[in-house]
Chain A
Amino acid sequence: MEASGIGGSGPGDLGRRLEAPSARTSEKVIGGLLAACAVISVITTTAIVISLIGPTIGFFGDVSLGEFFSTDWTPTFEPPSFGVLDIVAGTVSVTLWGCLFAIPIGLAAAIYLSEYASRRVRRVVKPILEVLAGIPTVALGFFAATFLIPIIQDVWPGEFLGGADSPFMALAAGLGIGLLIVPIIASISEDAMSAVPQGLREGAYAMGATRARVATRVVFPAALSGIVASIVLAISRAVGETMIVVLAAGSTPNFSLNPVESVQALTSFIATTATGDIAQGSVTYDSIFAAGTVLFLMTLAMNMISIRLVRRYRQVYE
């Protein structure tokens, strides 16, 4: 602030100080610095793509696309085989069980918080759900492996469905992931339902609708794009989850959706292989990046869908 008392200066001075502020160079420098901070995010994305692409191209120099999209994933065997569908199936299995658990619960929580809960209940329940969202995944993975697996083994009806004697299982990892994504579904869906104008509800009540009917037939459809966005985002989170899957689902590449078998997901393959002794430049090393590319593309597609849907409901009601 170099302006020191306009009153004491002559008229010429005053005119000079009324210049457009943006003409100052320091302002421009600061604007540039701030823009640079924002550009870091673009650089991050570019760096992610660069670090994935190089080794992935190297990988496909050695492995044909036909082999990659088949079902035998044994990168550390001799000779190795790179059929990625094995570990994609692991990811799908774990995500499926997680969503079967989390979608009904998350949506029920959202409807309750938005349409039924009193102000006081909401003030208590919402922070607790936030705490659930903040539990580190390594703790959820430990919980799934040491608490859920023994319980599932006890209650599993083995006579109909086959034994559940594996020390790792996709279902336990799925439930752990379910706990992780319930808050995501609940909070974004609740946000979308709260954004539904009050007039729609009042109109329905005036026609004699019950509260349950207003929630399910009026508010739910009106908030649908936000609800779908929350589910897509939750699936994306489940697909990308690592620690729970490593700890509870094991690391057996397995082209199967059987909930009580050990599976390896894309993420757990990356984590377990990268921590081993793998020579840089070998096909196995490059396969980490190839799996990463598949994972990145899957989550990128889902994130874009979800961002678009959120924008839609924001546009309609705000």
Chain B
Amino acid sequence: MESATPSSERARLAVAGARANVEAALGRQPRGDVIRTNVFAGLLLAAILVALAGLVALLAQALVEGAPALSPSLLTEPPSTIDTANAGFRPALIGSVMMIAFVFVLIVPLGVGAAVYLEEYADGTRWWNRLIEVNIQNLAAVPSIIYGILGLGFIVRGPLGIGFILLAGSITLALLVLPIVIIASREAIRAVPPSIREGSMALGATRWQTTRRQVLPAAIPGIATGVILAISRALGEAAPLLLVGATVFVTFNPEPFSGNYSALPVQIFQYATRPQEDFQTLAAAGIILMLAVLLAMNSFAIWLRNRYEQKW
């Protein structure tokens, strides 16, 4: 376009004319419209700020209320109703860690297996596969307390009948977060382009070989993100555990297959329901502890997603 030939000169003039026309038209935009647009944008922004203010207030209040109780004894001491200055969360923390370990062991194979089946094996036009799909979407939105009822009626008592033990809590939580893992894993698997599968199949690999050596390795970041989100949900969930035995004031370290147990959010709930100032402080300190762990896990998940998100 360096040389100013007559035709390009004409084109330049035409563009300039069109632009002047458009600018004249837009300049005639009524003042009211301009103001309304800006007011509207301001309102939208204000709404977001309200939500963010809620989050900030929640964090600040927990920090202010819980600060006096923040000490190593929070981690090392059992709960107590007498010596509240030195009471802590040790059995609940150990209970949570053990439970989360079981949840992890259960949800990774089951969740990824179900996702692989639905994405790689299932014929989506068959009614049973559609049933499974809708069923998983629905399970993801079933209230957590209903999972507590499932745990109480099916796992603690009823067909499984394993009693009010830590394992019952783990299975309940695992079933609760399984849909999260399945949905996230499906999305990760779906994001792997079909050409990868076709290439592998063309070289003679079977469906499972293709899945295991090509699709799954490519989907690992997405799957890992889903698993972390599921684990952090399980870690903060208290309601279903109230129904499957994690209610007692446990002062000793829990066992996985026998005896009473507690979990961090349940212990926080225990403290929070007691009106005395000391217990409220302990509850707030517990919340700081829990939020710190969750924030670390969630940030890691987001980092993982951004770092390894593959654009094909």
Task: State A220–B116 Cα separation when bound (angstroms).
Answer: 35
**Which segment, of B72-80, B191-199, B289-297, faces chain A?**
B289-297
Name B37's contact: one of A141, A210, A246, A295 (CB within 8 Å): A210
- The main secondary structure of chain A at its interface with chain B is helix
CB-nearest residue of chain A to B39? A212
Residue pair A275, B247 in contact (C-beta under 8 Å): yes
A21 at the B interface (CB under 8 A): yes
B25 at the A interface (CB under 8 A): yes
A132 at the B interface (CB under 8 A): yes
Across the interface, which residues of B come within 8 angstroms of A108, CB to CB? 43-44, 46-48
The residue among B36, B40, B157 with the most chain A CB atoms within 10 A of its own CB is: B40
Task: State A239–B141 Cα separation when bound (angstroms).
Answer: 11
CB-nearest residue of chain B to A211? B37
Q: What's the nearest-Cβ distance from chain A to residue B174, in Å?
A: 10
Task: State A91–B235 Cα separation when bound (angstroms).
Answer: 25
A87 at the B interface (CB under 8 A): no
Q: Quick one: which of B21-63 are within 8 Å of A by CB?
A: 25, 29, 33-34, 36-37, 40-41, 43-48, 50-52, 54-55, 57-58, 61-62
Residue pair B135, A41 in contact (C-beta under 8 Å): yes
Residue pair A109, B48 in contact (C-beta under 8 Å): yes
B252 at the A interface (CB under 8 A): no
A51 at the B interface (CB under 8 A): yes
Residue pair B138, A307 in contact (C-beta under 8 Å): yes
Residue pair B243, A274 in contact (C-beta under 8 Å): yes
A57 at the B interface (CB under 8 A): no
Across the interface, which residues of B come within 8 angstroms of A300, CB to CB? 138, 142
A156 at the B interface (CB under 8 A): no
Across the interface, which residues of B come within 8 angstroms of A241, CB to CB? 143
Residue pair B272, A247 in contact (C-beta under 8 Å): yes
Size band of the interface chain B makes with A: 35 or more
CB-nearest residue of chain B to A40? B110
Across the interface, which residues of B come within 8 angstroms of A237, CB to CB? 141, 143
Task: State A47–B34 Cα separation when bound (angstroms).
Answer: 58
A130 at the B interface (CB under 8 A): yes
Across the interface, which residues of A come within 8 angstroms of B273, CB to CB? 247
B287 at the A interface (CB under 8 A): yes
Residue pair A271, B243 in contact (C-beta under 8 Å): yes
Q: Quick one: which of B117-166 are within 8 Å of A by CB?
A: 117-118, 120-122, 131-132, 134-139, 141-150, 152-154, 157-159
Q: What's the nearest-Cβ distance from chain A to residue B260, in Å?
A: 13
Given A50-B154, A51-B153, the answer on whether A37 and B148 have CB atoms closer than 8 Å is no
B71 at the A interface (CB under 8 A): no
Task: State A212–B144 Cα separation when bound (angstroms).
Answer: 39
B256 at the A interface (CB under 8 A): no
CB-nearest residue of chain A to B208? A30
A44 at the B interface (CB under 8 A): yes
Q: What's the nearest-Cβ distance from chain B to residue A79, in Å?
A: 25
Given A35-B117, A48-B150, A128-B55, the answer on whether A116 and B41 have CB atoms closer than 8 Å is yes
B84 at the A interface (CB under 8 A): no
Across the interface, which residues of B come within 8 angstroms of A193, CB to CB? none
Q: What's the nearest-Cβ distance from chain B to residue A176, in Å?
A: 9
B114 at the A interface (CB under 8 A): yes
Residue pair A37, B109 in contact (C-beta under 8 Å): yes
Given A17-B204, A138-B238, A212-B40, the answer on whether A295 and B143 have CB atoms closer than 8 Å is yes
Residue pair B41, A212 in contact (C-beta under 8 Å): yes
B175 at the A interface (CB under 8 A): yes
Residue pair B51, A130 in contact (C-beta under 8 Å): no
A10 at the B interface (CB under 8 A): no
Task: State A162–B45 Cα separation when bound (angstroms).
Answer: 34
Residue pair B154, A47 in contact (C-beta under 8 Å): yes
CB-nearest residue of chain B to A272? B242
Given A131-B298, A307-B134, the answer on whether A33 and B113 have CB atoms closer than 8 Å is yes
Across the interface, which residues of B come within 8 angstroms of A233, CB to CB? 141
Across the interface, which residues of A come within 8 angstroms of B55, CB to CB? 128, 131-132, 135, 179
A292 at the B interface (CB under 8 A): yes
Across the interface, which residues of B come within 8 angstroms of A21, CB to CB? 201, 204-207
B262 at the A interface (CB under 8 A): no
Residue pair B51, A41 in contact (C-beta under 8 Å): no
B100 at the A interface (CB under 8 A): no
Name B113's contact: one of A37, A44, A147 (CB within 8 Å): A37
Task: State A237–B145 Cα separation when bound (angstroms).
Answer: 11
Residue pair B57, A274 in contact (C-beta under 8 Å): no
Across the interface, which residues of B come within 8 angstroms of A45, CB to CB? 135, 138-139
Q: What's the nearest-Cβ distance from chain B to residue A37, in Å?
A: 3
B220 at the A interface (CB under 8 A): no
Return the CB mask of A16-56 against B: 1 if under 8 Å, else 0: 01000110101100110111111111101101101110110
List 18 contacting pairs A-B, 8 Å CB cutoff, sorted by A. Answer: A34-B121, A37-B113, A44-B139, A51-B153, A109-B44, A135-B236, A136-B294, A138-B236, A141-B269, A186-B51, A213-B33, A240-B143, A267-B239, A271-B242, A274-B148, A280-B157, A288-B149, A302-B141
User: Which residues does A use to contact B, with CB under 8 Å?
Assistant: 1, 3, 17, 21-22, 24, 26-27, 30-31, 33-42, 44-45, 47-48, 50-52, 54-55, 104-106, 108-109, 111-112, 116, 125, 127-132, 134-143, 145-147, 179, 182, 186, 208, 210-213, 215-216, 233, 236-237, 239-243, 246-247, 267, 270-271, 274-275, 280, 288-289, 292, 295-296, 299-300, 302-304, 306-307
The 9 nearest A-B residue pairs measured at CB: A240-B143, A136-B236, A51-B153, A37-B113, A108-B47, A242-B239, A34-B117, A21-B206, A112-B44
